[in-house]
Amino acid sequence: MQTINRHVRVSLVVLLLVCAGMLLPRLVDTREAIHELRITAREMSFHVEDIAGANPTMALTAGEQVKVTIRNEDRGMLHDFSIPEWGVRTGGVEWGDERSITFRVPAAASTLSYVCTPHSVMMSGRITVSK
């Protein structure tokens, strides 16, 4: 009797592992994609990877999840990345460091600003949100 119970338990464990192996790829595929933006602060301006120019306009889509990573390459300066209208802020980033923040873009289409809080006169740009 004990041998039968052991075989039943082993069979159930094997069955659960097989089912988990079949479902796992489906669970992974349903994860939402994250729009990643890599921003470098240098020469007192923002430079966004794959977008030309300083302090460029960034295009986002309403409802999408975004991860912003800012790297500070301005020696002796403290920078941050902030979208005041959404309450998004990385906090201060020292020279040679980087920091990331992930947020969801609000559902409404809009145009707004992003800034470096301590240097907002020189380090600011626009974000356009489309539906």
Q: What is the pLDDT of residues 110-120, one digit of tens each?
A: 999 999 999 99
The reply to whether 63 and 20 lie within a common domain is: no
User: Which token pair is 8?
Assistant: 């039943």
The reply to whether 6 and 57 lie within a common domain is: no
* Confidence bin at 2 (pLDDT 50/70/90): low
Number of domains present in the structure of the chain: 2
The sheet that has 82-83: what strands, in order across it?
A: 58-61, 124-130, 110-115, 82-83, 88-89
The reply to whether 51 and 109 lie within a common domain is: yes
The reply to whether 51 and 108 lie within a common domain is: yes
The reply to whether 23 and 52 lie within a common domain is: no
The reply to whether 39 and 95 lie within a common domain is: yes
* Confidence bin at 122 (pLDDT 50/70/90): very high
Model's pTM, two decimal places?
0.75
The reply to whether 38 and 17 lie within a common domain is: no
Domain range spanning residue 13?
Answer: 1-31
